[in-house]
Amino acid sequence: MPRRKPARARARSGSGPRRPQRHKDVLHGNGRHRANDFRCAGCRLDVPLTAPGTAHRNHCPHCLASLHVDRRIPGDRASDCHGRMEPLSMSVRPDGEWMIIHQCLTCGELSANRIAGDDNPLPLLHLALRPLQSPTVPTRALLAL
């Protein structure tokens, strides 16, 4: 008895018209995943380019990782490094705005990036409390405050 072809092979053998493919919005140029978002280098989630509270999205709202793409002006995308930037610490401006301090793992450069309105608060608080987890911070001095 002859063996039957799998259903996929039968469909390709001309048993009917082929279904048209869906339009794919993937852009493979300039290292982008899609036109309106990017893929995070840390957690590999898709991140939208628009962010509440900032004009230039420069980090992932989930894991706070970034890429070294800006040289001097935020949004100029003129850096040649393109290394992964890890969140190092937090800083607060005199007006109360929180800043994430990133360090490039390739060239070691530091940069300050303002937080966005949709950043996950748990990694932000974890980053802000990191100095308290360090054994080098004297506990008595913190309790005296």
pLDDT digits (tens, 9 = 90+) for 72-88: 766 667 678 888 899 99
Residue 126 in 3-state DSSP? helix
The answer to whether 97 and 112 have CB atoms below 8 angstroms apart is no
By DSSP bridging, strand 110-114 and strand 46-48 are unpaired
Exposed/middle/buried for 25, CB within 10 Å: 0-12, 13-18, 19+?
A: exposed
Whether pTM > 0.95 for this model: the answer is no
Instruction: Give the pLDDT confidence of 92-138 residue by residue, as tens digits.
Output: 899 998 899 999 898 888 888 889 889 999 999 999 888 777 776 66
Contacts for 76 with CB less than 8 Å, ≥ 6 apart: 70
